[in-house]
């Protein structure tokens, strides 16, 4: 069980502590018959884009239902929110499910594992503590948020994720919130939101991404979103968030 004692957030008001939680939902190999590379990020062996997108959509649908059944409050974040608001569907090049929730609900989120296991999912978590004295961060927030990423594929047991103990991280002032992905390093230093930038929650509807004109799927799911999605996205991506980028599908999941 991951601790919620991230630098004593209850004693902080305007100088908010922020914790980033990366959570991977692992689909069972037997359930979906996937084939993986032997090490690192076990990529699918060039599955077609429709197959790949449907797997991501299924992940989103299952998590949304389980969260609703357990009265768990969360909202779409980052690429998932961007795709839903700007494009109306998940981004083809961004296969993870990005979500956010109140840090005080972290333990409740972790308990969802028992609900997800029978559905073919498991939870593998990574927690990194953002210290309250990092000067680059926006410390005007009163909303302490945990963020998570969920991926619809199985990860390697060796080296992909590094578990970080919250209490130890909170005592170590060299921790700056790096993501422990192989060969990937990124930071989130200005994404703390005020309570009134998120609540009351809105909604966004995610439609099926069609890769060919013969696709007749009417799949869609409505998920929670922050109160003002355009303003939220502008804070994440800047004023150009509405601008489309050129992309092409690859075998990478």
Render pLDDT for 72-94 as a digit per residue (tens, 0 to 9): 988 898 888 999 999 999 887 76
Residue 68 has pLDDT above 90, yes or no: yes
Structure tokens at 247: 């992309």
Short-list 23, 248, 44, CA closest to 113 = 23
Q: Which residue has the higher pLDDT, 148 or 120?
A: 120
115 vs 108: CA distance, rounded Å: 12
Quick: pLDDT tens for 2-24: 333 333 333 222 222 233 333 33
Secondary element (H or E) of residue 193: none
pLDDT, residue 77, reads 84
Task: Residue 149: name the closest of 94, 192, 206, 219 by CA.
Answer: 94
Hey, how many other C-beta atoms are within 10 angstroms of the C-beta on 145?
23
pLDDT, residue 192, reads 55
Over range 39-58, report the average pLDDT: 55
Confidence band, pLDDT 50/70/90 cuts, at residue 176 = very low
The pLDDT value recorded for residue 121 is 59
pTM of the predicted protein model:
0.62
pLDDT at position 148 is 52
């Amino acid at each position: 069980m991951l601790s919620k004692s991230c630098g004593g957030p209850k004693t902080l008001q305007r100088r908010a502590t922020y914790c980033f939680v990366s959570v991977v939902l692992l689909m069972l190999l037997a359930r979906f018959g996937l084939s993986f590379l032997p090490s690192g990020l076990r990529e699918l062996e060039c599955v077609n884009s429709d197959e790949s997108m449907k797997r991501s959509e299924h992940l989103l649908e299952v998590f949304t239902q389980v969260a609703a059944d357990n009265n768990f409050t969360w909202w779409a974040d980052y690429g998932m929110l961007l795709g839903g608001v700007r494009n109306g569907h998940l981004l083809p090049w961004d296969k993870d499910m990005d979500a956010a929730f109140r840090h005080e609900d972290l333990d409740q989120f972790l308990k969802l594992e028992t609900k997800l296991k029978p559905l073919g999912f498991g939870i593998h978590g990574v927690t990194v503590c953002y210290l309250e004295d990092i000067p680059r961060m926006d410390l005007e927030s009163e909303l302490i948020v945990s963020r998570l990423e969920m991926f619809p594929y199985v990860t390697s047991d060796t080296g992909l994720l590094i578990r970080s103990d919250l209490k130890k991280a909170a005592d170590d002032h060299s921790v700056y919130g790096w993501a422990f992905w192989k060969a990937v390093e990124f930071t989130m230093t200005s994404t703390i939101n005020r309570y009134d930038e998120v609540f009351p929650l809105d909604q966004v509807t995610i439609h099926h991404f069609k890769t060919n004109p013969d696709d007749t799927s009417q799949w869609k799911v409505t998920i929670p979103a922050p109160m003002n999605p355009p303003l939220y996205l502008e804070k994440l991506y800047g004023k150009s968030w509405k601008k489309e980028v050129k992309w092409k599908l690859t075998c990478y999941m």
